[in-house]
């Protein structure tokens, strides 16, 4: 008797993933957030395609069996982790590797744009105003990149190509990576402070008024990690009081950013809608990654990108 094919439950988003390669090898069941809790007990695998949803955190503690494997189409896992999932035997994987270089390129673009005052140039063009200014040279500046995972390392490589001297800060010190105890010292010397860390209990709100206070008045802050890494009120204060020169945020505590948020009008702040890792074809790449992982899982082979559920990220980097 042929064994039944595994059931893959997809917490869907628009557009849905292309999973045609799994035809005949998996039963694909799609659900929205409202139907997730009822469908979880019958699923062998959960694909969190709607990586902005927090529905998994709410639905997971319910009764009945739970999927043996959960994959999220994102680098961060804080949106789905809950104590019950962390304590379970379920394997959690993420989309590590898909966003590394696109985010690094986006950070490099922001560094160049801020150094060359491109936001002001575009404003002046709209005003039909000819105003000559002097721009900053990027080569020879210093960057402190916080987050030593694949994304942080890709940022370091890309900034080095621009001639930027970089320091990488991780959870623990090791060869080529500074520990948290060096962060204040490195931030105080940096022209660019880039947040690319995962969101954990230790990193929540780590960029606060004190941290912005140690930065140079000429320095710029960039966050491509998670919104909750930053005390947004403290950042507004740092910019309006000119403790720092400028900032760019691609992630926020509340997304989408509300229309009445003061962040839209803070002088010196570039706001982008969580797009630093999203390049043409990125959804297809995420779908192909899941299919490859599924093939390994179905064959009983070890999965890459396995998240340490207690730490909240993939260890070993």
Known catalytic residue at 66: no
Tokens 């390669």: give the residue: 21
The single residue of 39, 142, 274, 311 carrying the catalytic annotation is 274
Known catalytic residue at 255: yes
d(CA 44, CA 22): 14
Parallel, antiparallel or unpaired: strands 69-72 and 91-93: parallel
Burial of 274 (0-12, 13-18, 19+ CB in 10 A): middle
Q: Distance from first CA to last CA of the chain, Å, rounded?
A: 44
d(CA 5, CA 159): 47
Residue 136 to residues 203, 217, 306: CA-CA distances in angstroms? 31, 14, 42
d(CA 101, CA 152): 10
- Ranges assigned E (strand) in the chain: 7-11, 27-31, 45-48, 69-72, 91-93, 142-146, 165-169, 192-195, 220-223, 246-249, 269-271
d(CA 124, CA 131): 8
Q: Which among 105, 80, 148, 203 has a CA at the least distance from the CA of 314?
A: 148
The single residue of 255, 292, 295, 301 carrying the catalytic annotation is 255
Known catalytic residue at 178: no
Handedness of CA 298, 306, 250, 32 (dihedral sign): positive
Handedness of CA 306, 307, 313, 317 (dihedral sign): negative
Tokens 């990488």: give the residue: 168
- Active site (catalytic) residues: 226, 255, 274
């Amino acid at each position: 008797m042929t064994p039944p094919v595994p059931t893959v439950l997809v917490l869907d988003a628009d557009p849905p993933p292309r999973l045609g390669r799994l035809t005949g090898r998996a039963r694909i069941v799609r659900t929205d957030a409202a139907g997730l809790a009822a469908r979880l007990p019958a699923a062998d695998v959960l694909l969190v395609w709607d990586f902005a949803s927090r529905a998994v955190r709410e639905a997971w503690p319910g009764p009945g069996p739970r999927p043996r494997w959960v994959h999220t189409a994102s680098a961060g896992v804080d949106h789905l982790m809950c104590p019950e999932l962390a304590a379970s035997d379920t394997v959690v994987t993420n989309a590590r590797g898909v966003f590394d270089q696109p985010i690094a390129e986006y950070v490099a673009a922001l560094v160049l744009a801020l150094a060359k005052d491109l936001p002001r140039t575009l404003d002046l063009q709209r005003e039909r105003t000819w105003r000559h200014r002097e721009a900053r040279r990027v080569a020879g500046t210093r960057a402190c990149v916080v987050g030593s995972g694949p994304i942080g390392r890709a940022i370091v490589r890309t900034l080095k190509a621009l001639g930027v001297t970089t320091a990488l800060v991780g959870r623990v010190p090791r060869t080529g990576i500074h520990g948290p105890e060096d962060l204040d010292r490195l931030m105080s010397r940096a022209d660019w402070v880039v947040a690319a860390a995962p969101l954990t209990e230790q990193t929540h709100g780590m960029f606060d008024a004190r941290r912005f206070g140690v930065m140079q008045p000429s320095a710029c802050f960039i966050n491509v990690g998670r919104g909750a890494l930053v005390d947004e009120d403290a950042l507004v204060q740092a910019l309006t009081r000119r403790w720092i020169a400028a900032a760019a945020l691609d992630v926020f505590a509340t997304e989408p950013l509300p229309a009445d948020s003061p962040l839209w009008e803070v002088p010196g702040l570039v706001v982008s809608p969580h797009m630093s890792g999203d390049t043409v074809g990125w959804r297809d790449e995420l779908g192909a990654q899941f299919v490859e992982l599924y093939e390994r899982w179905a064959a009983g082979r070890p999965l890459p990108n396995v998240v340490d559920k207690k730490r909240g990220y993939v260890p070993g980097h």
